[in-house]
Amino acid sequence: MAERRIRMVMEKALCLLFDGHLSGALLGEAVMISTYLINITPSAAIDMRSPYLLWHNRLPRIAKLRTFGCAAYAWIPKAKRTKLEAHAVKCIFVGYDEEDRSGYRLLRFLDCEVIPSRDVRFNEAEFPRFADRVLAALPDERQRLCGCHHCDDHLAKATASVEAILRDEDAVTKDHLRIRQRRPVRLPTLRPVGQSRLENCQLVRLWTIKLYRQPVR
């Protein structure tokens, strides 16, 4: 049962990474948000109630949900900026803050640091991407999940598979999509008309014109 649950979490995390166009370096954040989504989803095993409702005795805040990997603009307080500086900093949405119910976890572009913020504007139609060298500088998030070696092995294998697929995502092959090959459509060949047929057509046309011009007696 535990292995099945881990596989469910990992599959959802991989889908989040693919949809957000993010590398495997953010697998830890994807696993955390995948677990959160599973906990707030109603289940038939508990009478169509969510684990979040049974544990906290309150409904989850569905309006808080955002698209993983989308662009986010975190507001900068006045004490940390001047009048001529930008009022917000561009980030990537990577999760929800565990300590603040209204907060979000954002990956900042400037120093590649995950910061919490509750005053955020989202653009869910934009999915910015980091370079591989920038993602390599991210701290390892696997130790934050749990200390067991069983989960570390699953995370290590998933990270390697995600990085391998995302490295070649621009060159999509038939093995990834498994497109069924269709038979080529045969177009009819137009054969040239012989010279004798053209001459007959011209003679018939001339004879018709002569008959048409002759006066009726």
Q: Quick one: which H or E segment has residue 96?
A: strand 88-96
Q: Give residue 66's pLDDT.
A: 92
pLDDT at 152 exceeding the cut of 90: no
- 103 vs 203, residue with greater confidence: 103
Contacts (Cβ under 8 Å, ≥6 apart) of 144: 28
Dihedral of CA atoms 96, 170, 152, 104 in degrees, nearest 10, equals -10
120-123 and 104-108 strand pairing: unpaired
Counting residues of the chain whose pLDDT is more than 70, the rounded percentage is 59
pTM for the structure as a whole:
0.58
Question: Can you state the angle between helices 149-167 and 27-39, rounded to 10 degrees?
Answer: 110
pLDDT higher for 56 or 151? 56
